[in-house]
């Protein structure tokens, strides 16, 4: 019973859920919950799938400065961003300050971009690990996009350089007070003023913001007011001292020399130093600038030491006095001047280094007295046949004064070379030339027609030494030293000479010549006949005929060829016809192969000289003792040679005899060029050299021309031993008649 009693109340009780309405609601709720759970599970699965699908890619909708990099790999995103930023680095960006603008490319500012960091940020978007946050970011980027920008990296050194380059245009430097001098030398102080400078921190932040979006500006330049380093209060204590220093000029002295530092130069030498911690000021000298100034002064403010010197003026020896030298001691002078300026003094004596002259004036005056004594007193020169004087001026000119600065002395000596030169000028008066024996080859024999004579000649070297020794010893005379001069040819040689055979000959014709001309041909031939030349000796035609052509030695008036204005003329001349003889000798020497020395051609060509057997055009030789013209040749054989000359009224013949050297003669030419036609007009000229009634044609018209003849000589071995080139230039001749007008 107890149990039943307990169960009856349960059976009879009814629950609220047991009602039909409630049961229906619960069924519906159960269904909705199941559907909702299923939807949530599907959405979660979709979100998880979206995240897994883009696991190694940037999520869609993500951008970097406008570049869509969603759904691409890191490498692709990196390449796209680099392409855009690299182009941007070369694109100018604009900075602005008020109305002013300044441009520079990001590359010039030292800007680069950290592309790897930018890609990291793009990739990290939507990957926090919180599904709710990440899915919301995915949704937002799909709907509105998401730009992660770029990451600029700035080289602050390059950027600072850019700020400094534009700072002067953007702002102004602060002005510190300073002392200056007015044009009239009054000291004044300028006023301080704040400056305006670029504020780099804020300006750089503005730049970074623009760079992060690859913008081109304008970028605001932030500025800040800059106070001066010090103000007027710091300088006030120095005013009085500075004013005293620059109130008047400062004089630097050395003896009678003075150099001035005016107020402006003094002002430039002063420095004002401000202690940044205490603000106290101090006045000092710029020692480097003062040193530079005195160093420059020392470059020209000095006196070179100069030794005393003795010189010959041409009349006397004069002394240039010694001068002691001095120079500024720069370092010590800088200290002296600096101390004096800062002490308020107005002048200071510079420190100098003295240099005494090595050769004193007293030493020079003693040497000059010695020289002037020599120049005053004549010096006698004697020799066996005469005497002369060596003038004082000559001795003075030969006096050498050796100035030795190391020893401080002047040593006189006579110049040996100068004395030798002087003695050369008087040697013609002292020398006596030896006379060779006159050997002649006559009728096949060598005969002596005049004995040799010995001479003497001055020994200039020995004489100069003797004169110098005498002068230096204080003597007033000396003897000229002469040596005996031997003749080259003596009479004893006649017996040793052998003339064996004829080597060559020359032959010209003079038949038909006027009597006076024929006389001159025959006289000069006679005098030349028999002349002899030793081996290596030189034959002179003029010497062989006596050295003179005049009426005094037997020659008569003939005709000669002279140069006139615009041409040549035949005129009366003593010795006319002698040139035919010299031409004949020349032809003989030419064909003998002997070495030709002096040879002069006629002014116009005379066909007579080109005839056989020895002539050819251009083979002539003229002589004129008044003009110094001669014909010479050298005996280049190893033996004596002799001249055998004849004139028989028809032919003038010169033979050269000696010992045949077995030479071969080769000739080229004559080659005639530059022919000039002669005028055929007859020219009549009057002359008082011949009596009235005289009339003669002295010149016949012939063309002028140039001609070259070459002669080569070969020895018996075939070696060429001489190469003679004869070039002659002949003027045109005219038809000329001389008419006598004399008494």
In sequence order, the 6+-apart residues with CB closer than 8 A to the CB of 738 are: 570, 572, 685, 686, 687, 690, 694, 695, 696, 698
Q: How far is CA 20 from CA 11, 17, 28, 30, 730, in A?
A: 19, 8, 13, 16, 170
How many other C-beta atoms can be found within 10 angstroms of the C-beta atom of residue 508? 24
Within 377-474, where are the H helices?
Answer: 392-398, 416-430, 460-472
Name the more confident of 399 and 66. 399
**CATH number for domain 235-355, candidates 3.10.20.800, 2.20.25.10, 3.30.70.2860, 3.30.420.10:** 3.10.20.800
Q: Indicate whether 566 pLDDT > 60.
A: no
Per-residue pLDDT for 366 more than 60?
Answer: yes
CA distances for 522 relative to 511, 556, 575, 580, angstroms:
12, 12, 11, 10
Instruction: Work out the pLDDT band at 56, boundaries 50, 70, 90.
Output: low
My answer on whether omega of the bond before 613 falls inside 30° of 0, hence cis, is yes
Band of pLDDT at residue 506, cut at 50, 70 and 90: very high
pTM for this prediction: 0.49
User: Positive or negative, the Cα torsion across 560, 563, 564, 569?
Assistant: positive
**Is the link from the previous residue into 242 a cis peptide, with omega within 30 of 0?**
no
Mean pLDDT of all residues belonging to the chain = 83
Dig out the tokens for 609 from the structure: 């000289």
Q: What is the pLDDT of residue 15?
A: 47
Q: What is the DSSP letter of 292?
A: H
Pick from 442, 589, 632: which is nearest to 503 by CA? 589
What is the token pair recorded at 551?
């009426």
The per-residue pLDDT for 330 is: 92
pLDDT for res 34: 57
CA of residue 387 relative to chain centroid, distance? 56
170, 290, 329 from 295: Cα distances, Å = 43, 8, 9
> Scanning the structure block, which residue is given the tokens 């130069």?
265
pLDDT digits (tens, 9 = 90+) for 664-705: 999 999 999 999 987 788 777 777 777 777 776 666 778 889
How far is it between the farthest Cα atoms of the chain?
A: 224
Q: Tell me the pLDDT tens digit for each residue of 708-726.
A: 999 999 999 999 999 999 9
To the nearest 10°, report the CA torsion of 335, 341, 345, 349: 40
Domain ranges of the chain: 25-51, 55-229, 235-355, 377-487, 498-742
Q: What is the mean pLDDT of residues 406-423?
A: 90
Closest CA to 350 of 441, 482, 260, 426: 260
Q: Are strands 379-383 and 477-479 parallel, antiparallel or unpaired?
A: parallel
pLDDT digits (tens, 9 = 90+) for 518-555: 999 999 999 999 999 999 999 999 999 998 988 898 89
Does the pLDDT at position 13 exceed 60? no
Work out the number of other CB atoms within 10 angstroms of the CB of residue 468: 19
Q: Check: CB of residue 272 under 8 Å from CB of residue 282.
A: yes
pLDDT computed for residue 682 by the predictor: 78
Rg of the chain in Å (alpha carbons): 63
> pLDDT band for position 508 (50/70/90)?
very high
CA-CA distance, 135 to 114, in Å (whole number)?
A: 28
Same fold, 235-355 and 377-487: yes
Matching residue, tokens 């509105």: 144
Look up the CATH number of domain 377-487. Answer: 3.10.20.800
Residue range 92-100: average pLDDT?
90
> Which pLDDT score is estimated for 57?
65
pLDDT single digits (tens) 165-213: 888 888 788 888 777 777 766 666 777 788 888 888 888 999 888 888 8
């Amino acid at each position: 019973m107890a149990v039943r009693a307990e169960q009856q109340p349960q059976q009879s009780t009814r629950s609220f859920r047991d009602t039909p309405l409630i049961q229906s609601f619960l069924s519906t709720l159960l269904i909705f919950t199941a559907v909702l759970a299923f939807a949530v599970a599907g959405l979660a699965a979709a979100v998880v799938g979206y995240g897994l699908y883009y696991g190694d890619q940037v999520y869609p909708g993500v951008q970097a400065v406008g570049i869509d990099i969603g759904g691409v790999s890191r490498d692709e995103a990196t390449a796209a961003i680099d392409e855009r930023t690299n182009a941007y680095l070369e694109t100018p960006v604009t900075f602005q300050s008020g109305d002013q603008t300044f441009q520079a490319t990001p590359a010039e500012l030292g800007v680069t971009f950290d592309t790897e960091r930018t890609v990291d940020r793009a990739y990290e978007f939507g990957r926090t690990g919180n599904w709710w946050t990440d899915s919301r970011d995915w949704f937002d980027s799909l709907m509105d996009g998401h730009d992660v920008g770029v990451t600029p990296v700035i080289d602050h050194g390059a950027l600072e350089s850019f700020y400094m380059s534009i700072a002067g245009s953007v702002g102004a430097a602060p002005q510190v007070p300073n002392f200056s001098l007015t044009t009239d030398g009054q000291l004044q102080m300028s006023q301080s003023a704040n400056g305006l400078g670029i504020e780099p921190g804020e300006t750089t932040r503005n730049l970074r913001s623009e760079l992060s979006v690859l913008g081109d500006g304008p970028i605001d330049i932030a500025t800040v007011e800059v106070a001066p380093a010090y103000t007027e209060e710091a300088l006030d204590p120095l005013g009085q001292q500075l004013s005293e220093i620059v109130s008047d000029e400062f004089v630097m002295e050395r003896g009678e020399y003075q150099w001035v530092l005016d107020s402006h130069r003094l002002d430039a030498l002063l420095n004002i130093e401000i202690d940044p911690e205490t603000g106290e000021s101090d006045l000092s000298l710029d020692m480097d600038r003062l040193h530079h100034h005195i160093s420059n002064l020392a470059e020209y403010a000095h006196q070179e030491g100069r030794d005393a010197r003795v010189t010959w003026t041409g009349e006397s020896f004069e002394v240039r006095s010694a001068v002691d030298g001095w120079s500024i001691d720069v370092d010590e002078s800088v200290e002296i001047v600096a101390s004096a300026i800062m002490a308020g003094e107005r002048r200071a004596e510079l420190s100098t280094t003295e240099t005494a002259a090595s050769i004193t004036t007293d030493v020079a005056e003693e040497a000059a007295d010695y020289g002037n004594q020599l120049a005053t007193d004549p010096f006698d020169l004697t020799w066996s046949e005469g005497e002369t004087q060596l003038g004082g001026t000559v001795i003075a000119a030969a006096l050498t004064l050796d100035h030795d600065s190391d020893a401080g002395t002047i040593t006189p000596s006579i110049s040996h070379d100068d004395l030798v030169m002087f003695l050369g000028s008087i040697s013609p008066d002292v020398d006596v030339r030896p006379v060779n024996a006159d050997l002649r080859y006559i009728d096949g024999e060598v005969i002596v027609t005049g004995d040799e004579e010995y001479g003497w000649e001055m020994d200039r070297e020995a004489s100069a030494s003797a004169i110098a020794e005498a002068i230096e010893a204080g003597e007033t005379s000396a003897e000229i030293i002469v040596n005996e001069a031997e003749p080259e040819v003596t009479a004893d040689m006649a017996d040793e000479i052998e003339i064996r055979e004829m080597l060559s000959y020359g032959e010209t014709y003079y038949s038909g010549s006027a009597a006076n001309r024929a006389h001159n041909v025959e006289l000069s031939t006679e005098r030349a006949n028999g002349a002899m030349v030793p081996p290596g000796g030189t034959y002179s035609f003029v010497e062989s005929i006596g050295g003179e052509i005049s009426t005094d030695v037997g020659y008569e008036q003939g005709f000669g060829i002279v140069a006139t204005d615009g041409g040549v003329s035949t005129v009366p001349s003593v010795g006319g016809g002698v040139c035919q003889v010299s031409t004949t000798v020349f032809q003989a020497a030419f064909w003998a192969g002997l070495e030709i020395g002096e040879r002069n051609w006629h002014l116009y060509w005379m066909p007579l000289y080109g005839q056989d057997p020895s002539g050819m055009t251009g083979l002539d030789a003229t002589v004129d003792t008044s003009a110094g013209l001669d014909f010479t040749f050298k005996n280049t054989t190893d033996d004596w040679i002799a001249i055998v000359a004849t004139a028989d009224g028809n032919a003038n013949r010169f033979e050269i005899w000696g010992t045949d050297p077995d030479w071969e003669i080769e000739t080229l030419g004559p080659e005639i060029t530059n022919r000039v036609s002669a005028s055929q007009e007859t020219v009549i000229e009057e002359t008082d050299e011949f009596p009235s009634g005289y009339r003669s044609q002295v010149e016949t018209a012939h063309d002028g021309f140039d001609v070259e003849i070459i002669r080569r000589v070969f020895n018996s071995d075939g070696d060429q031993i001489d190469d003679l080139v004869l070039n002659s230039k002949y003027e045109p001749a005219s038809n000329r008649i001389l008419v006598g007008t004399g008494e």
